[in-house]
Structure formats: structure tokens, C-alpha cells
Structure 1
């Protein structure tokens, strides 16, 4: 398993706080995590970047981005589904190109007007061209637009920092069933449901060897009912077949510890039940 990843608990110290690319989720956009506690996955070296995904001057969700692999490691968000129209236009993250650029996501076309080159954009993150002409794979959201309520929140999920190459049949059948049916039924009675959806980097690539094709995709949720009642659930799927395995949160954390080759992983605050 490819493990060219940075220690999540430490941060990318050259990044300023308060912008979209940040040094600390806890300081900038903590509300997307249950009990304001980001995942602890503890991985090894290279360039993970924290992004508080910002659109129309609001933080919408949080993403840990694996820059060398051009995919997100995970996105964390509050589940709040709505029926607004599905967006069409894709965006990119300017501050992955250079910190002096705007802190809000924008289109490739608009960003290229800011005196940067296409090569600079391609070096910093995945671009639309990377997802063209894929065979058996397509753009798989970690934070899906269907889990957001209003048009702007849905549009914010259409950034290339929130997607991975996902097995197309999985994306359209079993994973979609989980997103649209299981999440809805499991969150009945919840006052607030926190989700973390992630990818395990694999050994294969698309786009001429540029963009990593994850070996597995996973999703976990922690649902707050009241102080005495909190529930959780989780799934994992190989990214080359249309099968979703339903797990407890604790089982998923154990499986991810094996896949990421770590001693232990915590996706949510300890108050969230593991069984």
C-alpha cells in the first residue's frame, strides 16, 4: 500500500491560519468534526495539506489533501441533505498553487487568469484533464453534493480536491445506495450527524501515472441524539468491485490501521461508540 503521507496530527507548518489552506482544523473550521476532534490517523512523510473548503465566503467542510497523490485522504462534513439542483461546474483550490492567491475555490479558467501557468496548476493538484477518458472509473465525491442542503453548499463539493478516481459501478450502485438510503435511515432521530469519508492510496494510477487510484474507499458517521445517546456506523469498499461492507466504527478503525499500517486509528472523539 502506498504510504507517501504526512503525519496528520502535526500539520503543514508553512501554512498560515485563517485561510482556506490552514495549519489547524481545530482553529479554523472545527465545527465539521464531532466534538471538534479531527481524525487521528498518524501516517508517514510527505505533503498532506489541510483545507477548510471555502465557497461564497463560508467554510463548507474540511479536507485533508494528499498532494503527491493528487487525491483527498478524507473529507469531513455535517450531513444535511437537500433537494437543490445538482451542480455541473468543477472548481480547484487556488492556495494549493500559491498562498498569495484567494482563499476561495474557483474554476480552472478563472484561476489561470491570475498570472499562473497551467503547469503550476497541474503541479499543485488534480485538474479536469486528469479525469477525462477514464476506463471503468469516474469522479467519486468524498463529500457528496446529495449530503448538502442548499445550492452553494452543493456547489462547494464540486472541487477536484474532494474527489478520487472511483470504480464507476461502485459509485453508481452500492456506494450510491449507502449515500442515499443507508445514511438517511441511520440518521433518523439525530440532531446532528458528522461524517468522515476517505480513501486508502493504492499502488496504481490514472491520468498517465499522475493521480493515485485508491485501493479502498471508506465512510464513517457519528450521530448525536442527546448527551446519553450517540450512535455510529461505517462501511468500506474495495475500489475495483461493487461491494460495500458494513462495519462498526471500531471495526473500520481496526481495518484502516492494517491498511495504513498504523498501530491505531481514531476517526472520531472517544465519546462516539465503537461497537
Structure 2
């Protein structure tokens, strides 16, 4: 009798404890993906239409209901994080946090001729929860097969190698660039196909900063450019806490893992004096940016909390039943004696 009751009580306590831990993790992990806990800002006002800040395990992003892709996806890479080896399990799924009319769907990508291209890549993820989140379509853009499977894969590998071999933290922002008057679309949902994909990298320890710039086609072309060039073409402020002078610098980021040497820090190879940079954000704007992701955390955890509460209710019902059974068992024994 006592053992049955104790098991029910222990289960309830463990459920409540795990729920509290999960919520704290989400709040702590989201802003930590951004340099100085400040997410990229949407400078171009038209980008704000139907946008959704989303906080995931291991990365954060802003999704556009217009393009039906992320505008950017950001992550904080460390040698410790990348030391975790998680076997890849493809779990592509539609994002239920986004209202249905603004979601990209699995059907949109099917037979489109484009890959579902991760912006924050699966191989950067340190655990199963992060890996699962990385397969959300909110983290995907339609990517040309050779761009995704060849040049982009090599750039992702080179970035990880740079972090691991030099034991430097890196703040990485990845996303699409849409240029031209007539953009391609895929699917009934009219998911926009990017003209270019970019990956901006900032390593605070040594000041290394630049961005990869790859046309979204099968040419396998890639350039290393300034963060300012990306900001001018996207209407984003990728690192709102950094000065214009810093973002104008161009470093020789590695294009493959063989270009990475443990003792060699990428050298500055130029300065971009032509591109229009986003200026550092004011304190009030930074607070607003941070708050938007605080709200995203709250939104992201509502479904989790609802599930936990349902399970908690089930535990309470089991606890009451166990208690009632125990009382009846006791009374029967007392009556028989």
C-alpha cells in the first residue's frame, strides 16, 4: 500500500521538477545564442510584416510569413558544444508555432528541385532536442542541391573546424538574400527561393569577422565578404552591438576544413569602404530586441507547459486513485480483523 502511494508521489515530483528545469533552460539558452545577448535587428521596415521571433534549443531565428523562410538563424558555437557527436536523424517537420497560413509545408518542397536547406545546421547541434528543432521548416530555405550538399556543407564544416581547432567561440548568423524583381517560388504556399545564402561569423577573442556569400545555384561559387555587404543587401543589422568599423573588416575565412590550422588565426585581408553598414543599436532598441525573444520563449513554452499540466493532472488522478485504493485496502483489512 505504502509503496504504491510513494511511487505516485515520486512521479509527480519528478514531472514538476523536469518542467521547471526545461523552462529555465529555454529562457537561458535563447539570448545566449546572440553576441552580447542581442539578436539581429530588422532595419528595413518592410521586413517586419508577418514576422515571428522563434526560440529553439541551440539557436534562435526570425521567420517571415512573407518569404516563408527564416530571415536569419543565429547560434553560438563553442568547442565544447561541437565536441558532442549526435547521430543524424532526419526529422523534417512543419512549425506549429507559426500560424497555418504563414507556414511553409513539406508539400511545398516535395519535387520542387530544391533541397530543404538548414540555416542553423544539424551538425552544429549538441543534443537530440536541438537536432530535432533544427529540422523545423522554420529553419529552412529552398537551396540548390549542389549549393547545399557541396559548397555550403564545406563552409559549415570549415566553420566548425575553426572553432574546434582554435578553441574560439563564434557567433554565427545564417540566412537568405532575395535580390531581383522576379523571384522564384516553390509549392502552393509560394515559398520564396533565395538568390544568395550567407553565413556571417564573428569571433570575439581575436576579432575575426566576415561572411560567406554563395549564389543559390549549382555553380558552387562562394566569396568571403564583409558583414556590411550582407547588411546592405538584406536590410538586417546582424550584430547590433558591433561598430561599423568592425563590420567593415574582411578576414580570410576558411573555405574547407583543410584550410584551417590550429596555430593560424585568419588574417585581415581588406576593408569594405563601399557598403552601407547598419549602425549600432541604441540601448532602448537592444532592450526591445531582447524582449521580443523573451516573449518568444514564453510562446514556445506554452505548448510544453500545457502538455506538462495535462500530464500533471493525470498524475494527480493516479495519486488520488492510489490513495483511495490504499484507504479502501486498509479499511477492508481493518473490517476483516
Q: Quote the Cα distance in structure 2 between the aligned partners of 1:52 and 1:176.
A: 24
Of residues 75, 78, 101, the one that matches 2:76 is: 78
Tell me how far 1:128 sits from its aligned partner: 0.7
**Partner deviation per Cα, 1:159-216 (whole Å, 9 max, x = no partner):** 0000000011011111111101244126633442211101113511111461100111
In the TM superposition, what are the counterparts of 1:44-123 in structure 2 within 5 Å? 44-45=45-46, 46-53=49-56, 59-79=57-77, 80-81=81-82, 82-97=84-99, 121=100, 123=101
- How many residue pairs get aligned? The number is 212
**1:126 matches 2:104:** yes
**Structure with the bigger percentage of helix:** 2
Q: Which residue of 2 aligns with 1:181?
A: 158
Work out the CA distance in 2 between the residues paired with 1:231 and 1:255: 16
Alignment of 1:204-223 (within 5 A): 204-208=184-188, 210-223=190-203
Within the candidate set 208, 221, 228, 1:253 is matched to 228
Are 1:29 and 2:23 counterparts? no
Q: Does the CA contact (< 8 Å) of 1:215 and 1:239 recur in 2? A: yes
Q: Residues of 2 paired with 1:84 and 1:27: CA distance?
A: 22
Q: Cα–Cα, structure 1 residues 95 and 30, in superposed 2: closer, same or farther, change >3 Å?
A: same
Counterpart position of 2:214: 237
Range 158-167 or range 191-200, more displaced: 191-200
Q: Distance in 2 between matches of 1:244 and 1:268?
A: 25
Aligned to 1:23: none
Q: Note the C-alpha offset of 1:256.
A: 3.5
The structure with the larger Rg is 2
8 Å CA contact 1:76, 1:143 repeated in 2: yes
Q: 1:187 to 1:242 in 2, by over 3 A?
A: same
How far residue 266 of structure 1 moved from its aligned partner, in angstroms, is: 4.3
| Structure with higher strand content | 1
Q: Name the CA distance, whole Å, in 1 between partners of 2:161 and 2:209.
A: 13
TM-score by length of 1: 0.69
Distance 2:142 2:91 in 1: 18
Assess if the C-alpha contact under 8 Å between 1:143 and 1:157 holds in 2.
yes
Distance change >3 Å, CA 243–CA 63, structure 1 → 2: same
Q: Deviations over 1:69-89 (max 9, x none)?
A: 111111011223342111222
Structure 2: unaligned runs, 5 residues or longer: 1-26, 250-337
**Is the partner of 1:173 in helix, strand or coil?**
helix
Q: Judging changes above 3 Å, is the alpha-carbon distance between structure 1 residues 255 and 230 closer, same or farther for their aligned structure 2 residues?
A: closer
Q: Do 1:222 and 1:268's aligned partners in 2 also have CA atoms closer than 8 Å?
A: no
In 2: Cα distance, 1:200 partner to 1:147 partner: 22
Partner secondary structure for residue 41 of structure 2: coil
Q: Distance in 2 between matches of 1:222 and 1:33?
A: 11
Secondary structure of the 1:130 match is helix
Change (3 A) 1:255 1:153: closer
Structure 1 residues 252, 270: CA separation in 2 closer, same or farther (over 3 Å shift)? closer
Q: Are the structure 2 counterparts of residues 273 and 189 from structure 1 closer, same or farther at C-alpha, using a change threshold of 3 Å? A: farther
CA 76–87 in structure 1, closer or farther in 2 if over 3 Å, else same:
same
The aligned counterpart of 1:109 is none
Q: 1:188 is paired with a residue of what secondary structure?
A: helix
